[in-house]
Amino acid sequence: MRTKIELDDDKKISAAVKTGLGSWFHYDRDDITPGSIYFHPNYRQNFNKDNIVDKLQKDQTLNGIVFRPSSQSGFTTVSILQKNGAFNFVMANIELNKLEKSYNDYGLNLGNSIFEIIKAYRADSSKELKDIKKHMNDKLSDILLERKTELENFSKKQAQHAACFMVDY
């Protein structure tokens, strides 16, 4: 039975890897920002609630949307530029990491999906940003369901195609 080895500094991690014990430890950090968001071009660690509006107005490449670490540990804040300031909402990293695992299973990128949902939602002038969290949850689930259905249909077509080449001896 494998046991969990506590590796709290770089020297211990390096020693574990060099000795081959790296596979023996389990590094549980579900509270960190998911990779697809952390490495997204719109992720900025140096943005905070005090300078968000100025920085979003200056950097046009962000399209008025930025992912940033929350002041509360274990959360990611999404800031959206509006005419009268920035609209912020917080997403729990634990839930994002669970969702990212599902997205990775279906070959999707969670960070890109969130970004595109926000862009489409913001483009629809009839919708208010205060309702975006519910819309976000629904759309993220819909994207997964569409991809799952798409892959199932592809598998069925592949099986039918393979059946055409089956020969009885």
Query: What pLDDT is recorded for position 2?
Result: 42
- Collapsing DSSP states into helix, strand and coil, what is residue 99? helix
- 19, 47, 166 from 90: Cα distances, Å: 41, 14, 54
pTM score above 0.85: no
**What's the pLDDT tens digit per position in 125-166?**
788 888 888 899 899 999 999 999 999 999 899 988 888 887
**What's the pLDDT tens digit per position in 52-106?**
999 999 999 999 999 999 999 999 999 999 888 899 999 999 999 999 999 999 9
* Amino acid identity at 8: D
Q: What are the domain boundaries of the chain?
A: 31-164
Q: What is the DSSP letter of 151?
A: H
Query: What pLDDT is recorded for position 24?
Result: 47
